[in-house]
């Protein structure tokens, strides 16, 4: 096993080097991912085809602000695959406010993830109404947004204004086909970045191919 940092790990499995996190809840699987124990520590393999944050790491993510004790606001947790690995990383002293509006996936998220992990606070609300997140306290270190809405960038910016620390980090997954199917994905990404530049310093843009077609991730720092 090679340890590049203490946030995530590269573990040899089936003859390949694979991404993994140290399992916060021993024996617990979220999406039938493989568990591997090395020197008494249990790790969960992190599938880049199931998690866009893992895909970004595989494609050269340069900034990784998710650390032990970090506070995160996550919009669009869905069934909780990615947020479960962030839960591993921030540890028992970190906290994740996980927002999901769709009731079907929210049930899976509650049953499979949030009910097993004390560092996740589920918020079953519409991300368009950040003032109604009554359980969020203080400002967070990172806002992570993965919602499939045509106005997702504006929704994300309003959430950052309310909850992200100055100089905090913003991760935005852009699902180009959810915004406009008639434009090229490259043009849509450029237009969404232009909307962000008033409030953010753009640090990196990552194409998530081949793990997710027509998806990009933008990493930025909050200026105001």
What is the SS3 string spanning 101-170?
Answer: CCHHHHHHHHHHCHHHCCCEEEECCCCCCHHHCCCCCCCEEEEEECCCCCCHHHHHHHHHHHHEEEEEEE
pLDDT at 2 over 60: no
Comparing C-alpha atoms, which of 146, 158, 151, 160 is closest to residue 188?
151
Res 5: pLDDT: 61
Res 84: pLDDT: 98
Confidence of residue 161 (pLDDT cuts 50, 70, 90): very high
Res 185: pLDDT: 77
Res 121: pLDDT: 96
Give helix 152-163 / helix 185-196 axis angle, nearest 10°: 30
Tens-place pLDDT, residues 195-219: 888 899 999 999 999 999 889 999 9
pTM: 0.93
Which H or E run includes 133? none
Return d(Cα 188, Cα 191) in angstroms, integer.
5
Return d(Cα 18, Cα 46) in angstroms, integer.
8
Q: Are 44 and 23 in contact (CB under 8 A)?
A: yes
Tens-place pLDDT, residues 167-204: 999 999 998 777 777 777 788 888 888 988 889 999 99
Tens-place pLDDT, residues 13-62: 989 999 999 999 999 999 999 999 999 999 999 999 999 999 999 999 99
Return d(Cα 183, Cα 185) in angstroms, integer.
6
Return d(Cα 58, Cα 45) in angstroms, integer.
13
Tens-place pLDDT, residues 58-108: 999 999 999 999 999 999 999 999 999 999 999 999 999 999 998 889 999
Tens-place pLDDT, residues 117-155: 999 999 999 999 999 988 888 899 999 999 988 888 899
């Amino acid at each position: 096993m090679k340890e590049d940092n203490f946030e995530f790990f590269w573990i040899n499995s089936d003859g390949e080097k694979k991404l993994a996190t140290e399992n916060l809840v021993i024996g617990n699987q979220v999406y039938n991912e493989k568990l591997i124990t090395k020197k008494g520590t249990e790790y969960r393999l992190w599938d880049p085809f199931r998690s866009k944050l893992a895909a970004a790491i595989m494609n050269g993510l340069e900034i990784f602000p998710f650390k032990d004790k970090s506070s995160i606001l996550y919009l669009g947790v869905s069934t909780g695959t990615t947020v479960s690995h962030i839960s591993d990383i921030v540890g028992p002293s970190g906290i994740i406010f996980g927002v999901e509006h769709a009731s079907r996936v929210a049930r899976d998220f509650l049953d499979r993830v949030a009910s097993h992990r004390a560092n996740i606070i589920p918020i079953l609300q519409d991300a368009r109404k950040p003032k109604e997140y009554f359980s969020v306290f203080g400002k967070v270190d990172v806002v992570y947004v993965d919602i499939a809405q045509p106005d997702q960038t504006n929704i994300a910016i309003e959430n950052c204004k309310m909850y992200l620390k100055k100089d905090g980090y913003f991760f935005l997954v852009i699902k180009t086909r959810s915004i406009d199917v008639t434009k090229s994905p490259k043009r849509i990404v450029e237009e969404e970045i232009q909307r962000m530049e008033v409030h953010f310093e753009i640090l990196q843009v990552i194409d998530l191919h081949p793990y997710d077609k027509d998806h990009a991730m933008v990493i930025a720092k909050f200026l105001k």
